[in-house]
Structure 1
Amino acid sequence: MDTVAPGRVTRLWCPYPGGKRHPRWREIGARSVAWMAPFLESGSVDRIELASVSVGDLSSRSQPDSREEVVQFVSDTLMWLFALDDLLESDEYAVSSTRISPVIYRMQWALEGLVTGGGPEEPYSRALAELRRRIGTMAGALQVDRWVRAMQDWLSAVIVETAWRASGTKPGLDEYLLLRQRTGGGETVLTLLDIGSELPLSAEQWSHPQVRALTEMTMAVIHWHNDLFSCAKEMLLPYDDGLNLVSAFRTEYGVSAETAVEAAIRLCDRTIARCRSVSADVRGWAPPEVQAYLDGLEQNIAGQLAWAAASPRYRVTAREAFRPAGRGGVPSDASSRPPGIPAVDHWWQAPAGTPVSPVISVAEATGGWTA
């Protein structure tokens, strides 16, 4: 079997500082484990493994300077996402769209505060309904709506992901990248940034084309980094469902695992380089609340990378397969041209009618991606 060597160490480029975290991260994580425990049916999820995820560390790196109530909510949201993800990837649900669709439908109602039905997933619905109630006490209507929409997007994507597993086929690169924007659940955390900063974004600011592109690129990089950290572990499974960025490159181009890893890293680095370019433009006109949001996006890329490098959730051996390169690292690909993948190319196009200077010429934009 062609796999990625678990002990191989590759440094991942990240130009943002990410060492900061909330000082009470351990207590926050412990409270999340205690909060989720009553909702878990015995045997449905490995509680010890769930506790080892260290959501207190991850949430505290996401919002190191926010008040503790908000960081706790981020941590509890992450705990719920990891717990439900583990349940839905169990043998009972992972390859059955017929079984998983009614579960997701009931979860959608839980976001409205209505918990129905029974089965192993019912405690997760109750936990989600509680999260929905809690966010309503700490955020404005627009902020709540964004979080609910992000949760709905993630739940819907789980159905599509399950359909791919059930089909026995693997998505190509473009199909996978489009799906991965939602299956990672990253936007559920990013929607909480302006709650933590206490500088809420208006509807116009949130949906501004450049701000939206930065949000999507941040989600993508976070999800792709997770794929890189988990690929060695996933390749040791008895089957490859193709639902990983490395696998998608292999499916699309028929290349080796090592070559696919290199291509995935280049795509990550090129996208981070694009983030920096767009962010520099936005910071030229952005008011304080948007500036704070951009700071939060950068913090989340760096913080998640630091967390994933130490998380046992992605490890095959005691040694990491990847490590952050730190701010002094060098990108493997900093090209200003779009990669030639429809699912992501729009991030390289300057939105019309916005105060942004062109980054690439029309001639340059015609360049394609090569694996």
Structure 2
Amino acid sequence: MSPLNGPTGIGTSAARRFAPHVRVADAACDIASLRLDCPPPRREDPLLAARINERLLNWADQVGLYHGQLERVRAADFGNLAVLCYPESDDLDLLTVPARCALAIWALDDHYCDDPSLGAVPALTGTRLATASATLDRVRLPARYEERFEHATRTDPVLIGLRSAVGHLAAITSPIQLDRTRHSLLTLFSALAQEASWRAARHQPRVWEYLVNRQANSFLPCLTVIDALGTYRLPPADWADPRVRQAVGTAALASCVANDIYSLDVENHAAGQDFNLPRAVAEEHSCTAQEALRISADLHNELMDRFHARSEELAAGAGPELRRFLDGVLAWCAGSLAWHRSSPRYRSGRVPGAAIHPEDRT
């Protein structure tokens, strides 16, 4: 899950073109000085996280994800992501389910969109994402072509992993809960395809364009399973309420802004074109890298303030399940921020199991 960069300043047309890839200089970026408004994580349990990570390594090896690079799975510490983000459960089997789903989604992004060493081919991104969508939605073809489609899904580790992860999710969710997550994943794949079109056209999206994409290319699939991990069910009418969707979407977007901030260092060293909010802000507003980071942090805090306000409004007339779900969304945001601050996937020089950032304890 990433972002971008490109030329010119305020008022440029949407059709502007990429200048040579501009990277925000590492030396100019002091992420530790930023203030990101979010409560501390509600739980830390390195031992439980380590047990989940071992399960993820075995699973990734079985399905063929990150072949020859499994230490990347261990270093990313998705087990800790599950422990930090879903504090309502301490059940190893239950927590492994969203961790497996997270790994499948990140692997799809790496293998299809971002990392040539894992087989990413820009010209094939749209086609591969369309096949992933068909796999996720269990498209049924005429009999003479069904076997060919099934063969394709059985020989691609990304599709094997995606199908396996969603299958495990189906075992702990109701059909309505599963459909909620499936729909959010299909939306995510569509947004990743939009990113691919930007790369193909060498188009630099304006900040508002980028944020629109990030509404869909977000952590929403992770948020949709909060009630399943808490072993309760959010009423379908609550999820269908536009005010609830706006509140949850706002929190998901805030977490994506934090992701963009903490992934900046890694993306500065990545091959090819990448999309990133601080870089887009720097280009559009012709400001320094540090100022772009500060603006991005301010946007994160504005979105979190909006989420708090919407949650308070909703809670006033909400049933117990919705109040619990909204509280779970806040807990998820807190855990996600803590994970981004500690995971070597985003913080170079850090090691798996590193201590939570001091800011998370205040």
What's 2:209 paired with? 175
Aligned residues: 323
Q: Summarize the Cα distance change of 1:117–1:106 in structure 2 as closer, same or farther, 3 Å threshold.
A: farther
SS across alignment from 1:280:
helix
- Which deviates more from structure 2 when the two are superposed, residues 161-170 or residues 291-300? 161-170
Q: Does residue 93 of structure 2 align to residue 61 of structure 1?
A: no
SS across alignment from 2:318:
coil
Q: Which amino acid aligns with 1:158?
A: L
Match of 1:135 among 154, 169, 172: 169
What's 1:106 paired with? 131
Q: Summarize the Cα distance change of 1:160–1:95 in structure 2 as closer, same or farther, 3 Å threshold.
A: farther
Q: Does residue 115 of structure 2 align to residue 90 of structure 1?
A: yes
Q: Summarize the Cα distance change of 1:324–1:302 in structure 2 as closer, same or farther, 3 Å threshold.
A: farther
Alignment of 1:107-256 (within 5 A): 107-113=132-138, 116-118=150-152, 122-184=156-218, 186-237=219-270, 240-241=273-274, 243-256=275-288
Residue pair 1:14, 1:326 contacting (<8 A) in 2 also? no
Residue pair 1:41, 1:123 contacting (<8 A) in 2 also? yes
Q: Summarize the Cα distance change of 1:28–1:236 in structure 2 as closer, same or farther, 3 Å threshold.
A: closer
What's 2:98 paired with? 74
Q: Structure 2: any 5+ residue segments left out of the alignment?
A: 1-22, 140-148
Residue pair 2:65, 2:158 contacting (<8 A) in 1 also? no
Q: Structure 1: any 5+ residue segments left out of the alignment?
A: 329-371
Q: Does residue 347 of structure 2 align to residue 315 of structure 1?
A: yes
SS across alignment from 2:35:
strand
Residue pair 2:153, 2:160 contacting (<8 A) in 1 also? no
Q: Distance in 2 between matches of 1:175 and 1:313?
A: 26
Deviation at 1:2, TM superposition (A): 4.8
Q: Which amino acid aligns with 1:34?
A: N
Q: Distance in 1 between matches of 2:210 and 2:155?
A: 27
Q: Normalization by structure 1: what TM-score?
A: 0.79
What do the CA deviations read for 1:265-295 (whole angstroms, capped 9, x no partner)?
Answer: 1111111111111212222111110111011
Deviation at 1:193, TM superposition (A): 0.6
Deviation at 1:85, TM superposition (A): 1.7
Q: Normalization by structure 2: what TM-score?
A: 0.81
Residue pair 2:255, 2:337 contacting (<8 A) in 1 also? yes
Q: Which amino acid aligns with 1:106?
A: T
RMSD: 2.7
SS across alignment from 2:359:
strand
Q: Distance in 2 between matches of 1:119 and 1:137?
A: 21
Deviation at 1:10, TM superposition (A): 1.7
Residue pair 2:34, 2:294 contacting (<8 A) in 1 also? no
What's 2:325 paired with? 293
Q: Summarize the Cα distance change of 1:30–1:276 in structure 2 as closer, same or farther, 3 Å threshold.
A: same
- Which deviates more from structure 2 when the two are superposed, residues 3-12 or residues 204-213? 3-12
Deviation at 1:54, TM superposition (A): 0.6
Q: Summarize the Cα distance change of 1:305–1:4 in structure 2 as closer, same or farther, 3 Å threshold.
A: same
Q: Distance in 2 between matches of 1:237 and 1:28?
A: 28
Q: Distance in 1 between matches of 2:269 and 2:57?
A: 28
Deviation at 1:165, TM superposition (A): 1.4
Residue pair 2:30, 2:290 contacting (<8 A) in 1 also? no
- Which deviates more from structure 2 when the two are superposed, residues 276-285 or residues 108-117? 108-117
Q: Distance in 1 between matches of 2:178 and 2:31?
A: 42
Q: Distance in 2 between matches of 1:201 and 1:212?
A: 12
Q: Distance in 2 between matches of 1:237 and 1:79?
A: 20
Percentage identity across paired residues of the two chains = 23
